[in-house]
Amino acid sequence: MSHTTTLRSLKITDIAAVEAAVSELNSLGIACQLVRGEAPGMYYNKQQGVCDYVLRLPGAKGRGAHGQTQYDIGFTKAADGTYEMAFDDYDSALRKVIGASCPMPNTPEGKAQHAIGKFTQLYAKHATINAAINQGYQIESTSYDEQGNLQLMIAV
C-alpha cells in the first residue's frame, strides 16, 4: 500500500532495548505497549500482515477507511535476524505522538525516521546501555545536555 513505510536501514537487534524504550515512553506520558504476533494498525485494514512485535500507540489516531483507526509500528524479523519496522504515517499521526523534536530531514528515509524519532532515540539509548553492560562495563549515569544529546557515563 502507498501509505506503508518500511525502515530497512535502521535495524533493531535488541528486543530488551525495545521493551526498555517502550517503558520509558510510558514514563514520559506516551501510553503505549509492546505486543507479540499481531498486525499493526494502519490506514487500511490488513495493510500489513501479522508482525513478530507491534508497538501499540493508543494516542496515534488517524482517520481510517472505517472510522477511527489506530496507527502502530510493526517489527518483523528479517533473514539476517534483525527486525525491520513498518508503519503508516498517514496524516502525520505517528509523528504527532512520537516524532523527533529536531528539524525535519529532507530525504524520504530521514523523514520516515523522524516520524518515530522519540522511539528510535530511546531504543538507541537502551541498546547502547545493554551493549555496554554485556561487555562488562557499568553505567554510572545518563543525562541529556542543553541540546538534548544523551550523555552516558560508563565505567569499567
Per-residue pLDDT reduced to its tens digit, 50-61 = 999 999 987 655
Q: Residue 1's pLDDT band (boundaries 50, 70, 90)?
A: very low
Alpha-carbon span 39 to 33, nearest angstrom:
14
Whole-angstrom CA distances from 78 to 51, 58, 62 are: 11, 26, 28
Three cell numbers at 83? 527486525
Q: Residue 112's pLDDT band (boundaries 50, 70, 90)?
A: confident
Is residue 57 within a helix (H) or strand (E), and if so which, with residue range? none
Closest to 63 in 3D by CA, of 39, 87, 44 = 44
* Number of helices and strands in the chain (H, E): 4, 9
Q: Is the confidence at residue 65, as pLDDT, over 80?
A: no
